[in-house]
Amino acid sequence: MSADRWLPLESNPDVMNKFVHKLGMPKEWGFTDIYSLELLDMVPKPVAAVLILFPVNQKYEESSKEEQEKIDKEGQEVSKNLMFIKQTIGNACGTIALLHSIVNNSDKIQLSGYLSNFIEKTKDMTPEERASYLKEDEGLSSAHEESAQEGQTEPPPREEHTELHFLALIAKDGHIYEMDGRRQYPVNHGPTTDDSFLQDAAAVCMKFMNRDPTELRFTLIALSKLSDS
């Protein structure tokens, strides 16, 4: 059985790319750093997803709770074509964010290997059933552990609680969604298009940053098409 707590994955696009290319994402697609929200023109396009690494602090928790209460009261539109995965493995948020960003773009990215099999085997599962599937998946946990140890910094002990957390922003059926396995469901952040997705995702990122303007620990990474072959 896979461990209930993994080593944290470093926010390093080179490490992430090596990991997901082994899992079956074609090499013309890859993760790249977004150095500034004012320098979006430097990000390779098209962009299929944006990952956010941010601190889960009291201000975030309070804002997240208010947002969830509003959704529970007013409802939201959620595409039936989303593949959402609950996170029940400690420190697995990096890998789950990668999966959310890739498997929800299988219409744009021609996947093979593990990623293709994962979609096929879990497409009819609930988010909780997908979480259980990952928990029992020795192949993925081993691949995650290998990637977690390849970063530029030594990973903390797996027992150590880290307050930094990954989530993915993706576009599906004309809306931008926050995909966070810690939450009960995807969160709809409004309309978007293929052409405006990066700018719309940047606006969502600003919402996270504005929750605590004194907090500087934010990292943004784009999933982009890097070449045509």
| Residues marked as catalytic | 93, 165
Q: What is the DSSP string of 187-200?
A: EEEEE--TTTHHHH
Q: Which helix (H) or strand (E) holds 223?
A: strand 219-225
Q: At what angle do helices 113-122 and 13-23 cross, to 10 degrees?
A: 70
Which residues make Cβ contacts (< 8 Å) with residue 121, sequence separation at least 6? 133
Collapse the DSSP code of 32 into the 3-class scheme (helix H, G, I; strand E, B; otherwise coil) and give the result: strand
Could you tell me if 134 and 126 are in contact, meaning their C-beta atoms sit under 8 angstroms apart?
no
Could you tell me if 143 and 22 are in contact, meaning their C-beta atoms sit under 8 angstroms apart?
yes
Tokens of 109: 């990215």
How far is 125 from 94, CA to CA, in rounded Å? 21
Q: Which residue in the block uniquely carries the two structure tokens 């082994």?
A: 22
